[in-house]
A and B are shown apart, each in its own frame.
Chain A
Amino acid sequence: MDYAIVQTLNGLGLGIILAVIAVGLTLVFSILKVVNFAHGELYMVGGYFAYYTITLLGLSPFPALVVAIAASFLLGAVLERSLLSPLYSDATERKAEYGILITFGLAVALRNLALILFGPFPLRPPSFVIGVQKWGPFTIANDRIVAGGAGIVLLAALVYFVQRTTWGQALDAVSQSRESAAIVGINPRRVYTLGFGLGAALAGGAGALIAPIFSLSPSMGILRDTQAFVIVILGGMGSVPGSIIAGILIGLAESLFTAYFPDPTRALSYSNAFSVLVLIVILILRPTGILGRRHVQME
């Protein structure tokens, strides 16, 4: 029983982080109308940003987290400007294809760049808060609590940003109608850059938060990418609340699955396969997701 509770709490923490990643993905989709196949790689790079900020610049983990988030935002903005601008030009045809190919290419490029720069071996940055919490029979790593808490903070900050600030409302406006937003005087180009940057920042932040728990490797983005897709489709493309709920569910599912799968050597691999299977089943049954906003065609 205690084991189950601990695993559930771990699952919750993981779920919040997954929700952060997924919200970033769904944000990019709803504003730029593009599915970012490199989202997992932005998550991975964020983790490495934090790691090297700590080891090379000597910052402690919390400031490094902030640096990682800021650096991820900047990276996202740069990538958006250089690679994604054809998506907004009327001269580009078959925008959906372009989005798929260029973000997929970006994912592969980033993974290989990371492989070269950071090496293939897993790296683990120092903990945010060393140690564990013991409540009677339960033991939970501090880092997991930090991750969960920071994740909630990030999500809350995002929601506040979108609902209360001018820029945030501009984001919302553009996600609903690019033309109307332009008429009202919002510059869509800047909003796209902001949107993609925010998505990257969320992914990078998640990467930095999860790194002390699961450690870093160049291919860590692949799994989270797939999970992010599951979550976003489960919760509905473009729906932030949907992603949060679905994220927590998937986090719980992964933790409990890994904990209770009969064959421990296969547990982790098949728990990955499990999310993938869920995704496949959903796509077959309801290709537009469950809670989604109306799926907008891209051309």
Chain B
Amino acid sequence: MRHLHVYAVVLLVAFALVYARVVNAYWIHVAIVSMIYGILAASWALLAGYVGQFSFAHMAFASLGGYTSALLVQWYSVAVPLGMAAGLVLSALFGSLIGWVCLRMRGPYLAIFTLAFSEIVRIVLLSEHQVTSGPAGLRVAPLLQTPSRVPYYYVALGLLALCLTVMGLVVHSRWGLFFRAVREDEEAAGASGVNVVRAKILAFAVASGFAGLAGAFYAHYIGILTPELGSSDQMGLVVAMAVIGGLERLPAAVGGAIGVETLQEVLRSYGPWRFVLFGALLLLTMRFFRNGLLAPAWQRLLEARPVGSVLTSSREVRKGHRA
């Protein structure tokens, strides 16, 4: 089966299109939230897994995108899609700024800085409750005027597809190679002519922009927005999803998000113990399966070749792709 992964993707897409028609509203909701997290996990994976920028400001950007869109719609009666676009743009701009500020910061310092930035954003959103309604939650205008969730499902699907397409194009272009070079060895990348500055800022811009978009869609879907979206716990959830799925393959990160979110719903009866499970799962995956749990499976799909063809070369390629 030469292009096994193509068949798998086609099957998946077919399943996704039909899904909303066959399940009840509750599971549609789960799917929508999963896809939102999918965008968040994949965009974080782009930043962390490809360029090696372990930023903990990601959910802060989701939050900023959400509040920007919600408030623009509320104050200036902007059409919701336009508000969402504004959320994306603002997050992308702020993301680029943070990327620029962090240019010379190495791993742990970048992590600390972005964590600190994220905290400030959360604190300000919480405290300025005249504007944001603080912890009580801001009422957000809905994206679609429909009682059914099904249209939201297709919008989410569309946004996820958009996200994966754009990021996929970046990743398969020479910039994808440059990103990976920067993560492997920033100094050597510079010596090889890679514009490290542009690479980092580009990655931040794209990742943060999509985070903002996801946050905005989330706000206009759920109808209420709190600063909790930008909390450390949410960031941890997205990190867990990306790591468990696989940091270095965007589809794997999405898979991780869908898997974790679905698992969360399935285990809802166990109450807060689910979060401990995810924490443990994250730790176990990091400790023993550093590439993620889904990425190796996806890799196999990509490598599947007709029997008799060069099995040795596929082993060598695998040597190149394993962490």
Direct contact of A and B (CB under 8 A): yes
Complex Cα–Cα for A86 and B117 (A): 29
Contact assessment for B272 and A112 in the assembled complex, using a CB-CB cutoff below 8 Å: yes
Contact assessment for A283 and B108 in the assembled complex, using a CB-CB cutoff below 8 Å: no
Contact assessment for A100 and B116 in the assembled complex, using a CB-CB cutoff below 8 Å: no
Number of interface residues of A (CB under 8 A): 46
Partner of B276, one of A109, A230, A270, A297: A109
In the complex, whether B10 has a CB less than 8 A from a CB of chain A is: no
Within 8 A of B (CB), among A260-284: 266, 269-270, 272-273, 276-277, 279-280, 283-284
Residues on the A chain within 8 Å of B108, using CB: 34-35, 96, 99-100
Contact assessment for B290 and A272 in the assembled complex, using a CB-CB cutoff below 8 Å: no
Q: Given A109-B279, A273-B123, are A116 and B272 neighbors across the interface (CB < 8 Å)?
A: yes
In the complex, whether A132 has a CB less than 8 A from a CB of chain B is: no
In the complex, whether A179 has a CB less than 8 A from a CB of chain B is: no
Residues on the B chain within 8 Å of A98, using CB: 286, 290
| Residue in B closest to A119 when the chains form the complex, CB atoms | B272
Residues on the A chain within 8 Å of B236, using CB: 104-105, 107-108
Contact assessment for B287 and A100 in the assembled complex, using a CB-CB cutoff below 8 Å: no
Total of A-B residue pairs, C-beta within 8 Å: 126
In the complex, whether B177 has a CB less than 8 A from a CB of chain A is: no
Contact assessment for B120 and A277 in the assembled complex, using a CB-CB cutoff below 8 Å: yes
Residues on the A chain within 8 Å of B126, using CB: 269
Complex Cα–Cα for A111 and B119 (A): 16
Within 8 A of A (CB), among B222-238: 232-233, 236-237
Number of interface residues of B (CB under 8 A): 42
- Of the 9-residue stretches B73-81, B98-106, B146-154, B252-260, which lies at the interface with chain A? B98-106
Q: Given A108-B233, A279-B112, A280-B117, are A287 and B287 neighbors across the interface (CB < 8 Å)?
A: no
Q: Given A102-B287, A105-B282, A107-B236, are A273 and B120 neighbors across the interface (CB < 8 Å)?
A: yes
| Residue in A closest to B282 when the chains form the complex, CB atoms | A105
In the complex, whether A229 has a CB less than 8 A from a CB of chain B is: yes
Contact assessment for A93 and B323 in the assembled complex, using a CB-CB cutoff below 8 Å: yes
**By DSSP majority rule, is chain B's interface helix, strand, loop, or mixed?**
helix
In the complex, whether A222 has a CB less than 8 A from a CB of chain B is: yes
In the complex, whether A115 has a CB less than 8 A from a CB of chain B is: yes
Complex Cα–Cα for A115 and B278 (A): 14
Residues on the A chain within 8 Å of B221, using CB: none
Complex Cα–Cα for A62 and B281 (A): 37
Residue of B56, B101, B232 with most chain A CB atoms under a 10 A cut-off: B232
Instruction: Give B69 Cβ to nearest chain A Cβ, in Å.
Output: 24
Complex Cα–Cα for A32 and B290 (A): 20
In the complex, whether B124 has a CB less than 8 A from a CB of chain A is: yes
Residues on the A chain within 8 Å of B104, using CB: 287
Partner of A270, one of B105, B127, B271, B283: B127
Q: Given A108-B240, A116-B272, A270-B127, are A97 and B117 neighbors across the interface (CB < 8 Å)?
A: no
Residues on the A chain within 8 Å of B287, using CB: 82-83, 86, 102
Contact assessment for A116 and B276 in the assembled complex, using a CB-CB cutoff below 8 Å: yes
In the complex, whether A226 has a CB less than 8 A from a CB of chain B is: yes
Complex Cα–Cα for A128 and B52 (A): 47
Residues on the B chain within 8 Å of A269, using CB: 123, 126-127
Residues of A within 8 A of B (CB): 34-35, 37, 82-83, 86, 93-94, 96-102, 104-113, 115-116, 222, 226, 229-230, 233, 266, 269-270, 272-273, 276-277, 279-280, 283-284, 287, 297-298
**17 A–B pairs (Cβ distance < 8 Å), ordered by A:** A82-B287, A83-B287, A104-B111, A107-B232, A108-B236, A109-B276, A109-B280, A109-B283, A112-B233, A266-B127, A270-B127, A272-B123, A276-B116, A276-B123, A283-B109, A287-B104, A297-B106
Q: Contacts A108-B232, A108-B275 given; 20 further ones with Cβ under 8 A?
A: A35-B112, A37-B115, A100-B54, A104-B111, A104-B239, A105-B236, A105-B243, A106-B283, A108-B279, A109-B279, A116-B272, A226-B116, A233-B109, A273-B124, A276-B116, A276-B117, A276-B119, A277-B120, A287-B105, A298-B107
